[in-house]
Amino acid sequence: MSTTNSDRGAWGSRLGFILAAAGSAIGLGNIWRFPIETETHGGAAFVFVYLLCVLAIGVPVMIAELTVGRTTGSNPVGAFKRLAPKSLWKVVGALGVLTGMMILSAYAVVAGWILKYIWFSLTGALAGRTSDEIGAIFSAQSANGTQGLVLHLVFILLTTVVVAGGVHGGIEKASKWLMPVLLVLLVLLCLRSVTLPGASKGISFYLNPDFSKLNFAVIMGALGQAFFSLSLGMGAMITYGSYLSKKENLASAATIVCLMDTGIAILAGFMIFPALSSVGANAALGPALIFVVLPHIFNNIPLGQLFQALFFILVAIAALTSTISLLEVVVSYFIDEKRWSRKKAAWVMGGAAFVIGIPSTLSNGAVSSLTSFGFMNMVFTWFGEISLVVGALALCIFIAYKWGIRNALEEIRLGNPKFPMAAVWTFLIKFGCPLAIIAILLKAYILPAFSG
């Protein structure tokens, strides 16, 4: 079957785009991974560096991705091919497509746990339990391989159905009503969390920076988390930008999306850390963190199980709008470059994501060799962190020294004739972002590899 223009799709409205991009950004990265990263990297100082990374690197890189996407109207591989024909730059796009597939494969595992927690809430399995008991229940469910595979499959299926339906039918509709409800619920949970007994220790961990804890591992963690949470570094925003109209103000759209995403992450911290210190657990809980801490909050509010079910349903939908964007990158590549139909691309690649995700699913207690190897965490580190940072670095260098800042500015000005931040953006893309990224990569990974 050949492809038509309608197989590519386009956004219905400005709001539709902002909500879809925010839907891509807001997900498990905010609710699940941001608290884990903050915990392992020592609290408030990490949060401070994270905010710096979002502002100084995340926003300009998001503008850059949207610009490249809109100017080419193409997936990441096609975008590099169009702007730099017959060069090796398309490899950067291909790395992005691969990265999207790999992140999706691991992400759907955690999303599967969210589905299980909806079930726990409906059956009241966690009601009135101590946090030790809840921890044991979490471990038992994550170690159940068959169940893990079923949950993983269900989540991939949901993602595939939406992506197969196309940009209009699927992504926009799924995004439109979710965010406000999730926001209200988050605020309510924060209010409960900060008023729990013993909350103050967690609040100070989260808000009182101890800068002596800063080192390059912390900074790298913050940078990687910023890219992951904002869906940057692998072409998701190139793909979403490709469905945008020329009238759109890219700089303001990117800023709004970054602010919304960061706001939700900060709220998630306010929800988790006071409750964590209230539970009294200060051991590094890793992937289990929110799954142990959240039930504690719900056990301390009236109608807790009902709110818990509602909360996990909303988080599942937030995760779904993120997995949709991951699969969309891969699918748009096969539609544009391989001339597959949208349906074929979605189902074949959804199936591939499931198969690739099998070892990740089984690496949480089901198969001991995969567990001790830490397969899922490794996928998150290599693809959800390092690859994103490298991809963003390559994009900055590409714009600054191959395609040309002037061409990029021209594209941005189509929808934003003044673009008051042009000078700042130019400086950041040419020097600020690439130098910062190179320095952080060197210090965090490359130099230690030689000295260790």
Residue nearest to ligand TRP as judged by C-beta position = 29
Q: Cα separation of 219 and 121, whole Å?
A: 37
25: contact with ligand TRP by CB under 6 A: yes
Could you give the CA distance from residue 323 to residue 200 in angstroms, rounded to a whole number?
A: 35
Q: Identify which of residues 322 and 363 has a Cβ nearer to ligand TRP in the complex.
A: 322
Q: Of 25 and 44, which has the nearer Cβ to ligand TRP?
A: 25
Q: Which range binds ligand TRP by CB under 6 A, 25-33, 117-125, 239-247, 365-373?
A: 25-33
Q: Kindly tell me which of 137 and 254 has the beta carbon lying closer to ligand TRP.
A: 254
Q: Which is nearer to ligand TRP, 237 or 335 (CB)?
A: 237
Contact call for residue 394 and ligand TRP (CB under 6 A): no
What is the contact mask toward ligand TRP in residues 364 to 393, using x (rule: CB under 6 A)? Answer: ------------------------x-----
Q: Which residues contact 394 (CB under 8 A, 6 or more apart)?
A: 92, 95
Using CA atoms, how far apart are residues 78 and 152, in angstroms rounded to an integer?
A: 30
Neighbours of 326 (CB within 10 A): 27
Instruction: Report the amino acid identity of residue 199.
Output: A
Contact call for residues 13 and 181 (beta carbons, < 8 A): no
Choose, by CB under 6 A, the member of 23, 29, 69, 224 that binds ligand TRP: 29
- Residue 104 or 292: which CB sits closer to ligand TRP? 104
d(C-alpha 384, C-alpha 391), whole Å: 11
Query: DSSP readout, 221-237?
Result: HHHHHHHHHHT-SSSHH
Q: Scan residues 315-354 and list those touching ligand TRP (CB under 6 A).
A: 322, 325-326
Is residue 28 involved in binding ligand TRP (CB under 6 A)? yes
Residues 217-236 that bind ligand TRP (CB under 6 A): 228-229, 231, 234, 236
In whole angstroms, give the CA distance from residue 300 to residue 208: 26
| 416 belongs to the binding site for ligand TRP (CB under 6 A) | no
User: How far, in Å, CA of 332 to CA of 330, rounded?
Assistant: 6
Among 9, 16, 27, 202, binds ligand TRP (CB under 6 A): 27
**E-assigned strand segments in 286-359:** none
Collapsing DSSP states into helix, strand and coil, what is residue 206?
helix
Sites of contact with ligand TRP (CB under 6 A): 24-25, 27-30, 103, 228-229, 231, 234, 236, 322, 325-326, 388
